[in-house]
């Protein structure tokens, strides 16, 4: 099983390549769609990593994959600039999911 990265910056892609993860750097919606289609058509890819910025820029592409496909696993990762999530996002996620305030 391979991991594939779809990134919006060269630094993240370079760092992942140092760990043995192949990937592409894209910026436009059609480039993201093409990269996703290529990764989805390769049955040896089990995990697709995508930077949060790309995921937030094109949510319709990402949500379609998450809702309608079991494999590969699509994981949103922060880039070198950090995460776009709130510091307490895990706590708020649990609060929303089970209605329990922690």
* Residue pair 53/84 in contact by the 8 Å Cβ criterion: yes
**Beta-sheet strand order (sheet of 2-7):** 22-25, 2-7, 45-51, 73-77
Q: What is the model's pTM?
A: 0.77
Chain segment 18-64, per-residue pLDDT in tens: 999 999 999 999 999 999 999 999 999 999 999 988 888 888 888 88
pLDDT band at 82; cut points 50, 70, 90: low
The tokens for 97 are 């999911």
Whether 50 contacts 61, CB under 8 Å: no
List phi, psi (to 5°) of 45. -85, 120
**pLDDT value, residue 98:** 78
What pLDDT is recorded for position 61? Answer: 87
Q: Enumerate domains of the chain plus CATH numbers.
A: 2-98 (3.40.50.10580)
Name the nearest CA neighbour of 90 among 81, 78, 79, 102. Answer: 102
Residue in this structure with the two tokens 């910026």, named with its chain if needed: 27
What pLDDT is attached to residue 87? 64
Question: In whole angstroms, what is the distance from residue 70 CA to residue 30 CA?
Answer: 23
């Amino acid at each position: 099983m391979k991991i594939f990265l779809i990134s919006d910056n060269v630094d993240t892609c370079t760092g992942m390549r140092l760990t043995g993860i192949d990937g592409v750097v894209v910026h436009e919606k059609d480039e993201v769609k093409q990269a996703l289609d290529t990764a989805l058509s390769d049955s040896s890819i089990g995990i697709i990593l995508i930077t949060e910025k790309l995921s937030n820029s094109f949510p319709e592409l990402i949500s379609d994959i998450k809702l309608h496909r079991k494999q590969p696993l699509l994981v949103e990762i922060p880039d070198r600039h950090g995460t776009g999530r709130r510091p307490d996002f895990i706590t708020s996620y649990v609060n929303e999911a089970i209605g329990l305030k922690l």
